[in-house]
């Protein structure tokens, strides 16, 4: 799908964003192995999370997706052998978390994915699971992964990289392991703690019991409109009901350092058009905003001065190589930007011009470019824009609702 994006010079109003994708994945998985029926409000029914749900259904889990999503838990040892490979689609979260869940089962399973997912690194999750006793066959440590159900043992594991997915896979496997498992983050507080918090919510270390869950709006989805508001919302833009877990909100730190006018009230974020100035992102801040770096580069492109991003080598291993993708596409828009091994250097402040853009089949690249094009001079086209369905199916319907003429 190719979409045309017409620039705007003003937005205002308020919006809510879809439920948090990371929490939706984890809530569904833990509900599946809890006892009883878990009711979830705010569950995100996007392509990635539905990959998780559909895999759980193949494991015998009944799931009703709607305004209130109901997951009928089968208990810790109640999952059924799948009759065919479990298709994780484009979702790395689905594949890595299910690898942990399935490693300690009494049956075998196979995890597959689309062409993009088959290129993404799985060694990072295979290695600790094999230390626990898992038996996993893969093709050059990439999908598909053939998992032989095994008896697992607890481990004391030092994370070699910042990855909430790997940490979560180990924690899920530990539910089936003999002995204690301890996971040490590379640096405390630098990876998302949704799995730990949800385990507590379900009653761990006691047997997991069904619970009601309210999932807040996804900060990563809100991030696109935070930046758009800083560029165009002279009279303010409010994003409501946003999850503000401190392991997710490094972008706010970075944007405030640039001079962004951002106010937090409860779970609402109010942003106003701001004169942004360059800042630097280092290895300490990058992990706290790794998914938001693509949209941060848009703010940097409009900011006065030179912004340097470092400590973000992980961007090369996402749905696309996001360092290369953002560098090539922002160059088309007239931005003076160069790639480095672990980030980018962006010389901002010059007007952006319309261009023919490509999402690289990456939902975060697509939405970041759409925001840039909305604030550029001249119309743009965005090729392969349908990838946004992975996380934010209604994204392109939101901006028109925010572009009322201020004189009306």
Of 20, 48, 218, 291, the catalytic one is: 291
225 contacts 15 by C-beta, under 8 angstroms? yes
Cβ–Cβ contacts within 10 Å for residue 246, how many? Answer: 11
Place of tokens 């090539």: 328
Q: Quick one: tokens of 352?
A: 């952006």
136 contacts 104 by C-beta, under 8 angstroms? no
Residue 28 and residue 43: Cα distance in Å, rounded?
Answer: 9
Whether residue 342 lies in the annotated active site: no
132 contacts 120 by C-beta, under 8 angstroms? no
Long-range contacts of 204-209 (CB under 8 A, 24+ apart): 204/175, 207/35, 207/75, 207/76, 208/30, 208/33, 208/34, 208/35, 208/73, 208/76, 209/34, 209/35, 209/36
> Measured at the alpha carbon of residue 398, what is the angle toward residues 286 and 264, in degrees to the nearest 5?
50
Cβ–Cβ contacts within 10 Å for residue 394, how many? Answer: 11
Q: How far is CA 2 from CA 116, 324, 331, 383, 388, in A?
A: 20, 21, 19, 4, 12
85: closest CA among 56, 105, 110, 50? 110
Cβ neighbors of 86 (< 8 A, separation 6 or more) are 55, 58, 59, 98, 109, 110, 111, 112
Q: How far is CA 130 from CA 170, 203, 227, 247, in A?
A: 10, 27, 42, 28
Q: Which residues of 248-279 are buried (b: 16+ CB within 10 A; e: fewer)?
A: bbbbbebbeebbbbbeeeeebbbbbbbebebb
The number of helices, as runs of H, and strands, as runs of E, in the chain is 12, 23
**Alpha-carbon dihedral sign for residues 229, 231, 232, 234:** positive
Residue 342 and residue 338: Cα distance in Å, rounded?
Answer: 11
- Identify the helix (H) or strand (E) that includes residue 325: helix 322-332
Active site residues: 291
């Amino acid at each position: 799908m190719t979409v045309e994006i017409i620039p705007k010079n003003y937005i205002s109003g308020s919006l809510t964003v879809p439920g948090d994708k990371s929490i939706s994945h984890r809530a569904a998985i833990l509900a599946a192995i809890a006892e009883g029926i878990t009711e979830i409000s705010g569950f995100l029914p996007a392509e990635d999370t539905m990959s998780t749900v559909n895999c759980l259904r193949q494991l015998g889990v009944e799931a009703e997706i709607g305004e209130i999503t109901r997951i009928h838990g089968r208990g810790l040892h109640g999952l059924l052998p799948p009759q065919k490979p479990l298709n994780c689609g484009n979702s790395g979260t689905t594949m890595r978390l299910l690898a942990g869940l399935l490693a300690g089962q009494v049956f075998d399973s196979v995890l597959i994915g689309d062409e993009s997912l088959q290129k993404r690194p799985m060694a990072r999750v295979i290695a600790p699971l094999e230390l626990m006793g898992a038996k996993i066959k893969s093709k050059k440590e990439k999908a598909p992964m053939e998992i032989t159900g095994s008896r697992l043992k607890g481990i004391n594991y030092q994370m070699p990289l910042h990855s909430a997915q790997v940490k979560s896979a180990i924690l899920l496997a530990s539910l089936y392991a003999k002995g204690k498992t301890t996971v040490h983050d590379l640096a405390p507080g630098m990876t998302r703690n949704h799995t730990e918090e949800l385990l507590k919510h379900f009653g761990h270390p006691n047997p997991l019991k069904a619970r009601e869950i309210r999932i807040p709006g996804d900060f990563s989805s809100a991030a696109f409109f935070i930046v758009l508001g800083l560029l165009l919302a002279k009279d303010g833009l409010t994003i409501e009901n946003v999850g503000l877990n401190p392991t997710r909100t490094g972008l706010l730190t970075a944007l405030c350092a640039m001079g962004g006018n951002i106010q937090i009230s409860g779970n609402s974020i109010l942003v106003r058009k701001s004169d942004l100035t360059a800042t630097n992102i280092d290895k300490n801040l990058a992990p706290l905003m790794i998914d938001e770096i693509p949209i941060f580069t848009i703010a940097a492109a409009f900011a006065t001065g030179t912004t340097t991003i470092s400590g973000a080598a992980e961007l090369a291993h996402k749905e696309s190589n996001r360092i290369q993708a953002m560098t090539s596409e922002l160059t088309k828009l007239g931005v003076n930007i160069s790639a480095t091994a672990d980030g980018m250097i962006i010389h901002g402040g010059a007007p952006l011009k319309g261009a023919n853009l490509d999402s690289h089949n990456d939902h975060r690249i697509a939405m970041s470019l759409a925001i840039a094009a909305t604030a550029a001079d001249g119309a743009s086209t965005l090729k392969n824009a349908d990838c946004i369905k992975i996380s934010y199916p209604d994204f392109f319907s939101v901006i028109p609702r925010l572009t009322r003429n201020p004189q009306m």
